[in-house]
Structures are given as C-alpha cells and as structure tokens.
C-alpha cells in the first residue's frame, strides 16, 4: 500500500482507475468556505505496477490531453504589479473543475492582503489610477476570461473595467474586486478541465486543458460602435516649476463595443456568431499639471 496525503474540505476528490492502481486528483469545491483538513488516503498498488508515478503521469496526460484554449498577455508596469499578477496566477494554477463546477476568481484567489503576498500597485479607482494592495490582478481574471471565451465555456458573471485596458482588446477584459466584483464561469463540458496559469518573464499565459469532443474552434470578434476622444486639460500646480509640465493622467478614449464569439468547423466554415457582451468604457481626460506663473 502507498500513502498519499491530500487536503480535503475545500477539495472534492475523484478517482481514476487504471488496472489495479488507483490515485486521487483534487478539484476545488467552491461551495465550502471551511479550512481544509489533512487526511491520509491509501492507494492500492499491485506488484506489477510499481512505477505508479509513471502511471499517474500517463493517466493525467490522457485526462487533460487536449488544449481547449490559450491566452497570453504582456505584463506592463512596476515590479509590484508583476508580483501581484504572478501571485494571483499561482493561486489559480492547476485548479481542476468537474463538469458543472462553477469557478469563482475571488473564492480561489482570496482576499488581497500584504500577508498573503500581494503588494501595492496601480489600479482603477474613482476614475483614476491609484495604488492599492493587489493592484494589477485584473490582468489574470481578464486573461482567464479571454481563454474561457476561446474555449466556448459558459460565463456565469463578468463585468468590464470602467476604462479600457492595454493588454487585451476592448470587450475581452473582466474586472474583479474583493467583496464586490467577481469573475465566474462554468465547466459546461462533459469532462474535467484544468486551469494552467504561468508567468514567464513578463508574459502571462492562461491555458485550459481537458478533452475535446469535436474539431470546432472559436475566434473572438470585437466591433467598435463608437469612440469618444479624451480631452486635454491643463491645471496649474504650485509644485511644478514655472515653464515645466507633468502629465498627471495620461488620458483614455471612451468606447462602446460589442464582442462576438464566432464558432468554426474544422474546415473553416462559420457555424455560429453569437453576441457575448456590449460594453461601455468611459473617457478619461488627459490632465497636465503646469507651473503657476510668477506674481507680477
């Protein structure tokens, strides 16, 4: 007998069978807020199958053999922002969803605190970019959302940012905020799926793996309905020397957009075109601080 330690309580367990060998794979139970307990699970192993690690790798590969979708975005900004994206990516990495399970970004990532590894970095608040603990992790939820669309999974809850983001096209982002805004999607396939979320240099990659049952593929189409250019506003500021200027807010155009999911057959024939969302992004004026002229 071989002993395997697994956390249960927050984990639901399911078993794969291969000959006489059994092993356990964990998946998140999003309906239980209690702390996980440690228990011992014994896995039967026959003498002919002593290389259980090799067997587990074979079955694991067979279970998540197909790439359902992948999305990669570039992480810009400060080192603190890079840390926050990396921490959030690690927290959702290797999450497994059984058929019908609903993934909640806030439930899996948890509260953004300094004690849990998050740092202060820029985030949208009140129409401006301000520093907050966990700033930047919306890039993880947005990259995951983009992959979910490409995998043709059911979106349960998603809201766009108030302003456009630089790392994805309009209509492909998903804002999150602890205690209020969440991103949720459902494993609407007949098989388990796994989230793989990794950071390499400044590239965030979210990959969904599982079992494909057909050769269809998805493309995301964004249609611009209208664009509102930002205005340039100059404000006098005593901290700026006369004759000098400083860009306080960079400015962002406002957009109204529609996002469509286009499903194609393996030979490139369009099967369906479905409206996913209609999103409105506000305009942020460019604010330039200038030095106050000297008194006469």
pLDDT in tens, 99-155: 999 999 999 999 999 999 999 987 766 666 777 899 999 999 999 999 999 999 999
Greater confidence (32 vs 77) lies with 77
Give the structural domain span for 269: 64-291
Tell me the sheet residues that pair with 224. 257
Residue finishing a domain among 18, 38, 63: 63
CA 6, 9, 14, 19 torsion-angle sign: positive
Is 46 a domain residue? yes
Residue finishing a domain among 63, 92, 115: 63
The confidence score (pLDDT) of residue 63 equals 77
The confidence score (pLDDT) of residue 17 equals 32
Mean pLDDT, residues 148-176 taken together: 96
Is 8 a domain residue? yes
Strands 184-186 and 154-157: antiparallel
Is 286 a domain residue? yes
Mean pLDDT, residues 242-247 taken together: 90
CA distance 271 to 263: 5
Q: Are residues 86 and 57 in the same domain?
A: no
DSSP line for 189-253:
SSS-EEEEEEEETTEEEEEEEE---S--EEEEEEEEEEEEPPPEEEEEETTSPTT-EEEEE--B-
Q: Are residues 53 and 161 in the same domain?
A: no
Give 36-90 pLDDT, tens digit per residue.
443 333 333 433 444 555 555 544 555 788 999 999 999 999 999 999 999 999 9
Residue finishing a domain among 63, 86, 104: 63
The confidence score (pLDDT) of residue 37 equals 40
The total domain count for the chain is 2
* Residue 262, number of CB atoms within 10 A of its CB: 14
Q: Are residues 51 and 164 in the same domain?
A: no
Q: Structure pTM?
A: 0.77
CA distance 6 to 12: 10
Q: Are residues 16 and 89 in the same domain?
A: no
Is 256 a domain residue? yes
Q: Are residues 57 and 68 in the same domain?
A: no
Q: Are residues 13 and 39 in the same domain?
A: yes
Q: Are residues 148 and 217 in the same domain?
A: yes
Q: Are residues 263 and 135 in the same domain?
A: yes
Beta-carbon contacts of 33 under 8 Å, excluding residues fewer than 6 positions away, are none
Using pLDDT thresholds of 50, 70 and 90, give the confidence band for residue 174.
very high
For 261, the enclosing helix (H) or strand (E) is: strand 254-264
Q: Are residues 17 and 87 in the same domain?
A: no
Beta-carbon contacts of 144 under 8 Å, excluding residues fewer than 6 positions away, are 71, 92, 105, 174, 183, 195, 197, 206
* Residue 22 reports pLDDT greater than 70: no
Q: Are residues 108 and 226 in the same domain?
A: yes
Is 296 a domain residue? no
Q: Are residues 122 and 238 in the same domain?
A: yes
Q: Are residues 101 and 27 in the same domain?
A: no
- Supply the angle between the helices 79-92 and 138-150 in degrees, to the nearest 10: 50
Beta-carbon contacts of 19 under 8 Å, excluding residues fewer than 6 positions away, are 46, 49
């Amino acid at each position: 007998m071989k002993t395997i330690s697994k956390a249960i309580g927050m984990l639901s367990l399911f078993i794969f069978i291969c000959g006489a060998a059994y092993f356990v794979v964990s998946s998140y139970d999003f309906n239980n807020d209690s702390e996980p307990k440690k228990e011992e699970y014994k896995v039967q192993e026959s003498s002919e199958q002593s290389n259980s690690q090799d067997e587990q790798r074979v079955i694991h590969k067979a279970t998540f053999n197909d790439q359902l979708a992948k999305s990669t975005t570039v992480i810009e900004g400060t080192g603190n922002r890079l840390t926050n994206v990396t921490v959030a990516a690690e927290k959702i990495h290797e999450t497994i969803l059984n058929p019908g399970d609903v993934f909640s970004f806030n439930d899996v990532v948890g509260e953004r605190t300094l004690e849990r590894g998050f740092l202060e970095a820029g985030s949208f608040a009140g129409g401006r970019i301000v520093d907050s603990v966990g700033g930047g992790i919306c890039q993880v939820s947005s990259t995951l959302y983009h992959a979910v669309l490409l995998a043709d999974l059911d979106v349960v809850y998603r809201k766009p940012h108030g302003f456009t983001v630089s790392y994805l096209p309009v209509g492909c982002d998903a804002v999150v905020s602890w205690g209020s805004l969440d991103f949720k999607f459902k494993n609407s396939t007949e098989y388990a799926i796994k989230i793989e979320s990794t950071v390499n240099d400044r590239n965030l990659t979210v990959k969904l793996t599982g079992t494909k049952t057909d050769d269809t593929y998805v493309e995301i189409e964004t249609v611009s309905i209208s664009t509102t250019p930002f205005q340039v506003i100059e404000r006098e500021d005593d901290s700026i020397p006369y004759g000098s200027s400083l860009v306080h807010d960079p400015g962002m155009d406002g957009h109204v957009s529609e996002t469509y999911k286009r499903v194609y057959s393996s030979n490139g024939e369009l099967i369906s075109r479905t409206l996913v969302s209609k999103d409105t992004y506000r305009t942020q004026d460019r604010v330039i601080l200038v030095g106050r002229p000297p008194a006469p």
